[in-house]
């Protein structure tokens, strides 16, 4: 598969996976027993504990595991060269808003 096809396939599969998981803006909210409590906040104001929706969330968590840190960081560094693409900037800003 050509590089362009790989990128487009990865983007499509990531969107499909996101559509199957607990929607919303995930935020930590303390501890639930001995594990971090993660709550999804939907646009209409509803909330849902992500742990209660493990069937839909597990694949998302596994897909975006720490194994992606190195290639994502490399992509961000490569994308930082001029001209910066709006999608790369939007991704970096969204990521920074969620990083400690």
36 shares its domain with 79: no
9 shares its domain with 52: yes
55 shares its domain with 77: no
The whole-angstrom separation of Cα 24 and Cα 26 is 6
Q: Is the dihedral of CA 32, 98, 100, 68 positive or negative?
A: positive
What domain range includes position 38?
Answer: 1-64
70 shares its domain with 57: no
17 shares its domain with 46: yes
38 shares its domain with 86: no
Tens of pLDDT along the chain (100 residues)?
787 777 788 888 888 988 888 888 888 777 767 777 888 888 999 988 877 767 777 788 878 888 888 899 999 999 998 899 999 999 999 988 887 7
- pTM score above 0.85: no
Number of compact structural domains in the chain: 2
42 shares its domain with 83: no
């Amino acid at each position: 598969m050509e590089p362009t096809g790989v990128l487009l396939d990865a983007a499509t599969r990531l969107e499909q996976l996101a559509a199957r998981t607990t929607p919303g803006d995930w935020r930590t909210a303390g501890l639930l027993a001995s594990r971090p409590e993660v709550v999804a906040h939907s646009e209409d104001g509803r909330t849902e504990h992500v742990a209660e929706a493990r069937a839909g969330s597990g694949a998302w968590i596994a897909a975006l595991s720490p194994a992606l840190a190195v290639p994502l960081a490399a992509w961000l560094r490569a994308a930082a060269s001029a001209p910066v693409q709006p999608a790369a900037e939007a991704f970096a800003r969204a990521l920074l808003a969620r990083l400690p």
